[in-house]
Chain A
Amino acid sequence: MNQTVKRFRYAMKRLAQAVPIVLAIIVINFFLLHLAEGDAAVALAGEAGSATPEYMAQLRQKFGLDKPLPVQLGIYLKNVLVFDLGFSFRHNMPVAELVFDRFMPTLLLMVSTILIAVGFGVLLGLLAASGLNTWRDTFISVFALVTYATPLFWVGLMMIILFALNLGLFPTSGMENFAAFHEGWDRVKDIAHHLVMPTITLSLFYLALYTRLMRSSMLEQAGMDYVTTARAKGLTERRIVFGHILRNALLPVVTMAGVQVGALIGGSVIVESVFAWPGLGMLAFEALFSRDLNLLLGIFLLSALLVIAINLVVDIIYSFLDPRIEVG
């Protein structure tokens, strides 16, 4: 059997393993919805301003809320599978549509954050490990410790005070300057300008994580036998570090980047609400304020699915990076 078929089978196997997790998350979602006080009928009647018992019963029947719980769960599962996530009464729009509209800004923020956090984390970890126990190492380690302990929203607010209000370098909030009617390249530049502070804020915490991970991973690899062999061959230190140690030390960082995606989504709720970045996190914050549970649960479900999808992709990338991993 050739390598491609094996890889494909591995991907299929991982996909099959993800199915029960997806189902479990949908079921959790369903029960959370039921835990909440009042159902869709109460919400609708409230919006309409009139609520005779007959009208409520009619509404309940229409939404299937009078059926037993397992039947309702079945209906909910069926709806989710065709991406019907319910209706947001505040926005007067289907949840699925709202959520997809806000998906791109969040994706933009997350991708730029992962790139910055992994990139600088690897660099700083490398610098710290190669200058072990010098002032450089100490400085980087202290930096990582402090950023690891800082609440994201506070960093965001402090950056707004310093860079936006006092120095006027960056805009305080939003994703673009609508009033300027930028088009084409100018618009890209404008969005990038707005992206700087949210990205730095969101990446700081993960930067600390990757720096520490990269440092310990480099140190661990440096003690391996193959490094001794390389040194005995007479390779230069530079080639040992960049040609041998670095590639192996990167593997745990890649794994971690996949694992941390879930946490990144949580962080984006906070960062987006600090910088009024119009993504899923901001939408979640708005939904929280208007007590729009349907919407909140839709966002939750979509982000859980996103995490599963990204973990799947990371696993498959990983099997390419490290041929030792059994794909059969």
Chain B
Amino acid sequence: MAFWRLFRRNRSAVFGLAILVAVLVLAATASMLFPGDPFKLAGQPMSAPGTNGFLLGSDTLGRDVASGIAHGAQTSLLIGALATVVAVMLGVVFGGLAGYYGGWIDDVLMRVTEVFQTIPSFLFAILIVAIIKPSISSIVIAIAVVSWPAVARLVRGEYISLRHREFVQACHITGMSDARIMLREILPNCLSPIIVAGSLMVATAILIESGLSFLGLGDPNIISWGFQIGAGRTVLRSAWWVCTFPGVAILLTVLAINLVGEGLNDALNPRLRERS
């Protein structure tokens, strides 16, 4: 409850949370609100919003844009969350080992991190998906591979600052194994910056996913916002709604997650608050 009181102080974060909850509810109730496959042809093609029973119009093939947005919410949130979990795990392993052991292990791991940070990330993600064939798992892998270096740097810094603290020395004396100290003792002490970085990473992951599926690299069996926009490109002149509404959905979701992330930062790391 103390946490909620801190979080509530940031009004824009509460606003973001409200939007995010709405998106989550939309994703959860998608198959109830719009039963059936979002790819199915639901009626007259190119219907304007509000006509022929389409709330947000239909696309060139007569697919319901609103249904696509609701089902696409599932895709975006799922991929955003999965990719972030994978990236955070990779980052914790790399950063934790580098920070805890230091020395040549640190040197080697940080060189590797540097290489991955230098590579143009979106282009790298495109390559990975194109090579392993577009699917949910290849998209998740691609986003995780380009996102983990930031987490690794963060975790490394935390581990370096914690590894010589008294409680860690006490663990060494009791004969605890390195793995146990790293995971059970140090990790819980640097969870809050990881949570903040992770929450902001979900937003970036959703943006990358939408970019990939806009370019035609989405999972062909699953509807997503980027795919809808990519499919509506050709009819920009005659059916503006096909591209417009899924974009608004991406914008609102990413904005909401960014606001919540900043709110978490303010609530979890009061020391780090850099706003005057």
Contacts and interface: CB of A to CB of B under 8 A. Distances in A.
Contact of B255 (A21, A35, A36, A149): A149
Nearest to B203: A149
A10 to B, nearest CB: 18
B258 A288 contact: no
Interface in B211-250: 211, 214-217, 226, 229, 233, 236-237, 240, 243-244, 247, 250
A157 interface: yes
A105 interface: no
A289 B216 CA distance: 9
A186 B265 CA distance: 52
B39 interface: no
A299 B119 CA distance: 12
A28 B119 contact: yes
B122 A151 contact: no
Interface residues on B, range: 35 or more
Given A21-B115, A270-B214, A151 B236 contact: no
B201 to A, nearest CB: 14
Main secondary structure of the interface of B (DSSP, over half): helix
A303 B121 CA distance: 11
Interface in B142-162: none
Contacts of A148: 258
Interface in A275-297: 284-285, 288-289, 291, 293, 296-297
Contact of A296 (B112, B118, B130, B240): B130
A298 B120 CA distance: 13
A28 B250 CA distance: 32
B178 interface: no
Contacts of A36: 131
A266 B124 CA distance: 9
B114 interface: yes
Given A145-B258, A154-B243, A35 B131 contact: yes
A209 to B, nearest CB: 12
B83 interface: no
B254 interface: yes
Contacts of B244: 158, 161
A304 interface: yes
B124 A300 contact: yes
Contacts of B247: 150-151, 154, 157-158
A321 interface: no
B207 interface: yes
Given A24-B115, A132-B276, A151 B120 contact: no
B170 to A, nearest CB: 37
Contacts of B111: 20-21, 24
B132 interface: yes
A127 B274 CA distance: 18
A157 B236 contact: yes
Given A146-B251, A154-B250, A288-B216, A262 B119 contact: yes
Given A151-B251, A157-B229, A35 B132 contact: yes
Interface in B249-276: 250-251, 254-255, 258-259, 274, 276
A175 to B, nearest CB: 19
B176 interface: no
Given A270-B215, A300-B127, 17 more contacts: A21-B115, A24-B115, A35-B132, A36-B131, A149-B254, A149-B255, A150-B247, A154-B243, A154-B250, A158-B243, A220-B274, A262-B120, A266-B121, A285-B215, A299-B123, A307-B120, A311-B118
11 contacts: A21-B115, A146-B255, A149-B207, A151-B214, A151-B229, A157-B243, A266-B123, A266-B125, A267-B122, A300-B127, A304-B118
For the complex of A and B, list the 6 residue pairs with the smallest distance between their C-beta atoms, beginning with the closest: A266-B122, A154-B247, A149-B255, A149-B254, A262-B120, A265-B120
Interface of B: 111-112, 114-115, 118-128, 130-132, 203, 207, 210-211, 214-217, 226, 229, 233, 236-237, 240, 243-244, 247, 250-251, 254-255, 258-259, 274, 276
